Every structure is written in C-alpha cells, then in structure tokens.
Structure 1
Amino acid sequence: MNSAVIKDFVLAVNNSNNAFNLNINPDSVKISTSPVTDPTTAPTPIPAAPNTVDTATTTTTTAAPITEALIIKRVIFRSLLTNFTSDLLNPSSTAYINRAAMIEEQLTRVFQSALPSSFKSLNVVSFRNGSIFNTVDVYFSSTPADSDDFLIASILMSTAASITGFDIEGSSISVNGLTSSGVSHNISLMTSSCLALLSWLLSSQQWQ
C-alpha cells in the first residue's frame, strides 16, 4: 500500500548510515500514482460465531523517525597549486564532480579520524576563481566543543601537508567567517604564555 511505500522510503533516506545528507519530513511524501492505494473505509467486520470468544484486534503504529539536529559549518580554503577553469562553475561537469569527490573523500577521513564521535559528513558546495577557492559544508552532531570554529580550522591546518591531489593554503582557511589568521594568533598567544610560564619556573628553581 502507499503508506508502506512511503514509510520504507522515509526510513531509508533518513538512515544515518547512508550518504544522502538529506532529511525528509514523512508528512511531505506523497505518491501520485500506484496500483495499491490505502483503503479509505474500514473493512466490514465478520460477525463472531455463536458461543465463541471474540479476539481483540490491536493496531500497532510506528512512530516517525526522530531527525537529529546537526550543526553545519561553512569551511572555505584556497588551493594555490591548481589553476581555476570555468567548468568548475558547473556542478554537472566532469572537472567539478571529480574535484568534489576527491576533496570529500580525503576530508571525510580527516574529520572521521579527528572527531569520530561528532563528525557526520561533509559536502562540497562550490568552487570559485583565485586560484581555486573551495567551499565545503561540514556536518556535526550537537556537540559544540567538537564543532568549535578554532578546532575545525586547526584540524585543517595540521593536515594540510598530508593531503594529496589538492592543496590547502593554511592562511586562507575560514570557518563560518573565522579566518585561520585568528587561529594562528590564538595559538601564538598560548605558545607565548607557555614559554613565559616555563621561564618563570626555571628561574624559580635557580633561586632555590
């Protein structure tokens, strides 16, 4: 029946193990044409035979799947070693599809390794000239600490040297508008503080 087809379709698309990156509202799914429609009227009950005990009929309803709220981070980084071509503006072109697949495959492994409990998926959004600016949406579960902008930028900066097929210019990384220069500045402040503390500890030992 239509209802069974719709239920199986929604469960399949909303399954967290697939790669669709798409959630579907069950109430929005309709079937325009099908050979078996849902009954519009209840079937006529069959009278119970004399001197027999009626068996109660129970109806089991399946609750709609719960859609997990995801945190989406817009990540932009520049690739200097590849020249931009106009076909990268067309999501249907071979150049766009191949580059998007290459980036998604490698960065998925990076985030799965660094944040296995909170990373869900990522999707290339677009490319633009200069040499190539790559825009990617990264999806996390509701774990603010793991989806922190500084942490995401730091992961990309630390893994840039191990990426193959495309390059990541460390100073160009932007996460939801936060540039990697801010990350570097934050790291520099932490490094300076640690060095100052170490110097103080060494000088204190000399006086003892």
Structure 2
Amino acid sequence: MPGATQIATTTIAPAIIIRRVSFRSLQSTFTNNLLNQSSPEFVFRATMIRSQLQPLFQREFPTIFRILIIIGFRRGSVINDMDLQFSNRAPNNTAIAAVLTDAVSVVSGFDIEQGSVTVEGIVSSGTSHKISLLSAFCLALLSWISSGQQ
C-alpha cells in the first residue's frame, strides 16, 4: 500500500539472574557415576532433587522464579550444585538459603545438611535470629536495671 506507515515493535526479553546454590547430603554416598551427566545415577538424583525443590522455590518466589538446573555433584558425601534462574531480579541470598533449610524435614530420597547450604559461595548459618520489639525492650530494661544494682 503506498503511503502506509509501518511501525516497528521491539520486544525486550526479561533479564535472567542466576544464583549458584550448593548443599551437602551426608546420608548419600558419592560414586563416580555422579560425575557423568548421562549416567542413570546422575539423571535419577538430578530428577529427584529438582522435582522436590523446584516447587518450593516456585511457591516462595512465584513471580520471579524460573527454573532450577542441576549443575553436578561432587565428593564430600555428596555435594549437590545447582543454578536457580530468576526473572529481572533475584531474592537475597538469605531468602534463597531459607527455602533449602526449611526443606530439610520435607525432602525424601536425599538429605540437606543445614550448615552446608551456600548461595553464591556464601555459607548460610541455617538459623534465623528474630526478636520482637517487646523482647528487645525487655532485655534492654533488664540490663539497665541490673547495671543499676551494682
């Protein structure tokens, strides 16, 4: 059509942010078959871990979580390495680690040693320290009272 105007459209793909996550399974025994991504042992373990952990990350981060990819397994009982992909932004490392530490009691076929969870190479303590304002006030008041008694 002569004189017709064409409008160019541009689609912007969302940024993909990857977080490397690892944890140790103390109750598992490492075999060299876990080094081969096409071995039945690797495929079975990867599928077992992904099928149980991916829904937990999807539930915790429903708008930004994309996929969990098993990268590999290493010696040390079994150290499980995976990448988590997020769209546009990623939760902080503590929130990511909390999903795994909360999963300790619900996974089956493998275990998660709480103190071994790392996100981007940073070890999670596996504990949460929450204190209410009232508790903090009471502790401060108690400290103040006891220091006045000396």
Fold match (TM-score > 0.5):
yes
Identity %: 38
Which is richer in helix? 1
1:89 matched to 2:35 = yes
**136, 140, 149: which one aligns with 1:196:** 136
Q: 1:193 to 1:114 in 2, by over 3 A?
A: same
Greater shift in the superposed pair: 191-200 or 55-64: 55-64
Once the two structures are superposed, residues 3-39 of structure 1 have per-residue CA deviations (whole angstroms, 9 ceiling, x without a partner) of xxxxxxxxxxxxxxxxxxxxxxxxxxxxxxxxxxxxx
**63, 70, 80: which one aligns with 1:134:** 80
**124, 141, 164: which one aligns with 2:108:** 164
How far, CA to CA, are the matches of 1:194 and 1:176 in structure 2?
A: 35
Q: 1:85 to 1:161 in 2, by over 3 A?
A: same
Q: 1:59 to 1:179 in 2, by over 3 A?
A: same
How far, CA to CA, are the matches of 2:4 and 2:48 in structure 1?
A: 52
Distance apart, 1:151 and its partner CA: 0.7
1:177 matched to 2:117 = no
> Which residue in 1 is equivalent to 2:61?
115
> Which residue in 1 is equivalent to 2:147?
none
Unaligned runs of 5+ in 2: 143-150
Q: 1:100 to 1:200 in 2, by over 3 A?
A: same
In angstroms, what is the RMSD of aligned CA positions? 2.7
One-letter amino acid of the structure 2 residue matched with residue 172 of structure 1: S
How far, CA to CA, are the matches of 1:140 and 1:59 in structure 2?
A: 38
How far, CA to CA, are the matches of 1:193 and 1:71 in structure 2?
A: 35
How far, CA to CA, are the matches of 1:77 and 1:201 in structure 2?
A: 41
> Which residue in 2 is equivalent to 1:11?
none
Distance apart, 1:165 and its partner CA: 1.4
Secondary structure (helix, strand or coil) at the match of 1:112 reads: helix
Once the two structures are superposed, residues 139-174 of structure 1 have per-residue CA deviations (whole angstroms, 9 ceiling, x without a partner) of 112234xx2001111121112110111111000000
> Which residue in 1 is equivalent to 2:93?
149
Secondary structure (helix, strand or coil) at the match of 1:162 reads: coil
Which is richer in strand? 2
Greater shift in the superposed pair: 149-158 or 55-64: 55-64
Unaligned runs of 5+ in 1: 1-54, 203-208
Secondary structure (helix, strand or coil) at the match of 1:117 reads: coil
One-letter amino acid of the structure 2 residue matched with residue 74 of structure 1: R
How far, CA to CA, are the matches of 1:62 and 1:122 in structure 2?
A: 35
Q: 1:62 to 1:101 in 2, by over 3 A?
A: farther
Larger Rg: 1
Q: For 1:6-21, what aligned pairs fall within 5 Å after superposition?
A: none
Secondary structure (helix, strand or coil) at the match of 1:76 reads: strand
How many residues end up aligned between the 2 structures?
143
